[in-house]
Amino acid sequence: MQISDLPPIDFVVLSHHHGDHFDDRAARELRKSVPIITTQQAGEKLDEQGFGATISLETWEYVTVERGDATVRVTAMPAKHAPEAVSPLIPPVIGTMLDFERDGRHLLRLYITGDTLMHDELHEIPRRYPDIDLALIHLGGTQILGVLLTMDAEQGIEALEIVRPRTAIPIHFDDYTVFRSPLEDFQTLVEQRDLATDVHYLNRGESYPLRATAEIHQR
């Protein structure tokens, strides 16, 4: 699938400006006026690439996107891409929480972890945002010079136990040469643990239908 094959894009969420998240094709083929919600550092890089509608968020800040009677509130979630010892070498990163509404009714809550490790601030997410319908969880166990930079299988399970989404789909685990934690390790742990989350696995090109739950999530 090419970018030209996608339906019209209302906005993009970008956890940080690394090539495995925003590559040359995206920079070349996305329309330059598309809003991109990201970190301040990534926003500056995007501005240099000609994107004129970047929106920079710090953790817990949010922006609301509207289209007709539909609204999406996008909130930056805490994320940590590296241990303290090497964090100055790694750009800031955010996760995102997307709350979908129509006519004032809450329909769906989607959490995207972004490239993060397990860290204490993740415990604040379920306190502020319970009832997460779907989590897209970045795995892979990225290691560079022996330093873990993204969640491996064990950390991914721990994150699900903390955030407790109804459904989770692992992503970003097999398309980068520095991944060291294969999806099979995560699948094994899912089978061994008594999770409150239903985990689904998608191959490229597959889709997963998720029913909106307005009647459950009234605010």
Is pLDDT of 85 > 80? no
pTM of the model: 0.92
The pLDDT, as a whole number, for residue 215 is 44
User: Considering all CA atoms of the chain, what is the largest pairwise distance in Å, rounded to the nearest integer?
Assistant: 50
Which domains, ranges and CATH numbers included, belong to the chain?
Answer: 59-199 (3.60.15.10)
Q: Whose CA is closest to 96, among 115, 117, 118, 71? A: 115
Across residues 30-56, what is the average pLDDT? Answer: 96
- Report the alpha-carbon distance of residue 163 to residue 98 in Å, rounded: 15
Alpha-helical runs (H) found in the chain = 24-29, 40-48, 124-128, 153-163, 183-192
Paired tokens of 3? 């970018």
Across residues 168-195, what is the average pLDDT? Answer: 94
The pLDDT, as a whole number, for residue 213 is 58
- 89 vs 179 pLDDT, higher one: 179
